[in-house]
Structure 1
Amino acid sequence: MLGTSRLGIGIIGAGRVGPVIGAALAGAGHALVGVTAGADSDRVEAVLPGVPVLEPAEIARRSQLVVIAVPADQLAGLVAGLAEMDAWQMGQLVLHTDPAQGVGILAPAAAQGAIPLAVHPAIAFTGTSIDLRTLNGAFAAVTAPAPVLPIAQALAVELGCEPVVVAEEDRAAYAEAIATATEFSRSIVAQSTSLLARAGVDNPGAYLFSLMHSTIDHALAEAGAGAATGSGAGDLGTTTIDE
């Protein structure tokens, strides 16, 4: 557990990411203070049974660690809005999960004494308990001021991830790498399954499963070898996932 402390954790964002992060940290021994309301209350209840549903400002005022997992276009406004309500607390931890942002976006909270952290687990979240298994052995990009970087790293470990430090100025490149990998993969799978279906192959997804996994494994192995030998193709990977 994080040192020897048991934190009271609040989750702002009830989409696919926030509740899973909360469940993982609860599994590491922390207490859940509350979660904000979401469109799929049944799914959130299944992941976080019995956790109170609270307003964002109430979560900020009650929690020692606030996890913010909201859409990217809502993050800045949410942080600033809670600052205008004087909701942030001196010494509390505030962690967001947006891959494209470091801790600068949390400046309004930091100005009120909160400790800013950015932790992005590099998995495709489903919003279900399946993600708890996927987190184990995954990597997480962590960004934080140097004095509190070990806290961000420890929280990543408690999620089950291996922390990889990404500098504030490198978060945009990191996010581009993540978006390229995920969006390209989805597009290729959709195109390939459509072509196989037109060719008369039953269950094209199952047909592609082993092929896609083996191809990706080989590509990642080659990328890792390139990074180790200093070839240009590995430069971005060593900044994000391969460290």
Structure 2
Amino acid sequence: MSADAPRLGIGIIGAGRVGAVLGAALRAEGHAITGAYAVSDVSRERAAELLPGVPLLDVPAIVERSELLLLAVPDDQLGPLAAGIAATGLVPGGQLVVHTSGRYGTEVLAPLAEAGCATLAIHPAMTFTGTRDDLPRLFGCPMAITASELFAPIAAALVVELGGEGFVLPEGDRALYHAALAHGANHLVVLVDQAREALARIGIEEPGHLLRPLLEAALDNALRHGSAALTGPVVRGDAGTVASHLGALDDLDATALPGDPADTSATYRALARAALDRSGLPSLTEQRIRALLEDPDTEDA
């Protein structure tokens, strides 16, 4: 929205990692935060830190006093929340309702649209910690917009105020879009955690420090070049090295403490098979490595 656009009264329903941060960013642009809904102690503390002075209210109170509702709740809660708000009969015609789910477009907000609300979906392609560290990460952050042609300019203006770079994402593409982001970011965290644990097990005091230059270079190359950035023993056809890795990782998992994950070898096998599919190795070399990577449980069956 332009500098002379009217400021809105915005209610935050879901003061989690995303809602509280986006609320703080919009507040910095001059909008008034009319209230926040926070259930857990952690969310209440987060609201106090990022949205000081904002009252913690129940959902009906926030709906009644807000021109824009920001729904930042888990995906599975979004549909029931939208239907529940619509059923109260409290929403006035013309109220803006924005959700931040990556999975859904605006169809999930259909009950509110039928009640006369302008419905928008804005998803920042970013991981959130729920702290002030997230605020500068919004600048230049891609944000997926799903909205009708009539309301898309409003969504685009909100994205600009958040500091993001908006792009239009059709409703039907949301599931694959969100799967791609979750697979790339969430599963990357698991992979790095496994590498950190393996290094810590051999006495490396700061495994993150050791891994950072390598992983940053690998990520940068992968983002630039895709599978052409693959290196390592699988794409070189070094079957002996792959066998050595599997033995070490099997031992790592076998000696994990009770209650700790013991899944590094299985993850290595799955990702190494995916790397092998992209390797272009000669057939005999590929077959030799693929045999090594078979699931041990399958071999024993």
TM-score normalised by length of structure 2: 0.72
> Take 1:45 and 1:126, find their aligned partners in 2: how far apart are those partners?
15
Q: Identify which range, 209-218 or 156-165, moves more after superposition.
A: 209-218
**1:168 aligns with one of 161, 171, 176:** 171
Structure 1 letter corresponding to 2:211 = L
| Structure 1 consecutive aligned stretches of length 4 or more whose deviation exceeds 6 Å | none
Structure 1 unaligned residues grouped into runs of 5+: 226-243
SS in 2 for 1:113: coil
Structure 2 letter corresponding to 1:18 = G
Structure 2 unaligned residues grouped into runs of 5+: 229-301
Contact 1:60 1:89 in 2 (8 A): no
> Which structure: larger Rg?
2
SS in 1 for 2:33: strand
Aligned residues: 225
SS in 1 for 2:17: coil
Offset at residue 210 of structure 1 (A): 2.2
Residue of structure 2 in register with 1:17 after alignment: 18
Aligned pairs for 1:87-126 (under 5 A) are 87-126=90-129
> Take 2:171 and 2:72, find their aligned partners in 1: how far apart are those partners?
18
SS in 2 for 1:193: helix
Offset at residue 199 of structure 1 (A): 2.8
Aligned pairs for 1:1-243 (under 5 A) are 1-2=1-2, 4-39=5-40, 40=42, 41-223=44-226
> Take 1:77 and 1:139, find their aligned partners in 2: how far apart are those partners?
28
Structure 1 letter corresponding to 2:38 = A
> Take 2:49 and 2:162, find their aligned partners in 1: how far apart are those partners?
18
SS in 2 for 1:4: coil
> Take 2:30 and 2:37, find their aligned partners in 1: how far apart are those partners?
21
> Take 2:145 and 2:216, find their aligned partners in 1: how far apart are those partners?
27
> Take 2:218 and 2:141, find their aligned partners in 1: how far apart are those partners?
19
Offset at residue 98 of structure 1 (A): 0.6
Structure possessing the higher relative contact order (Cα contacts under 8 Å, 6 or more residues apart) = 1
Q: Judging by fraction of residues, say which structure has more helix.
A: 2
Query: Matched residues, percent identical?
Result: 47
TM-score normalised by length of structure 1: 0.89
